[in-house]
């Protein structure tokens, strides 16, 4: 990627959160194999549990769950 590109990290974070909702398990955990910087920013905003741990998944907070579902529908659902 060209280092001169102005990347909108807010939009990246929105897409990452929406994708976490897509692979959410019944226990409220989601696989954390996405961009580490975005995961850290989502944690700092209180939307997910700390991604820096041995587990391969994160928990979405109540706020994170609601926002993730809203973003998923906004970004990926037709109509």
Domain segments of the chain: what residues? Answer: 9-76
Predicted pLDDT of residue 2: 63
Residues of the chain with confidence (pLDDT) below 50:
none
**The tokens of 79 are what?**
């109509």
Asked if residue 56 lies in contact with residue 32, where contact means CB atoms within 8 angstroms, the answer is yes
The pLDDT, as a whole number, for residue 5 is: 80
pTM greater than 0.95 (yes/no):
no
pLDDT (0 to 100) of residue 51:
94
Copy the structure tokens of residue 40.
Answer: 């850290």
Q: What pLDDT sits at residue 9?
A: 95
Annotation: CATH topology of 9-76: Arc Repressor Mutant, subunit A (1.10.10)
H or E, element range at 17: helix 9-22
Query: Cβ-count burial of 27 within 10 angstroms (0-12 exposed, 13-18 middle, 19+ buried)?
Result: exposed
Beta strands in 1-56 (DSSP E): 29-31
């Amino acid at each position: 990627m060209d280092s001169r590109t102005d990347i909108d990290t807010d939009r990246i974070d929105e897409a990452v959160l929406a994708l976490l909702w897509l692979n959410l398990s019944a226990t409220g955990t989601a696989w954390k194999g996405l961009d580490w910087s975005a995961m850290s920013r989502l944690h700092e905003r209180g939307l997910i549990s700390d991604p820096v741990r041995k587990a391969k998944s994160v928990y979405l907070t109540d706020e994170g769950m609601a926002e993730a579902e809203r973003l998923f529908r906004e970004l990926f659902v037709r109509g």
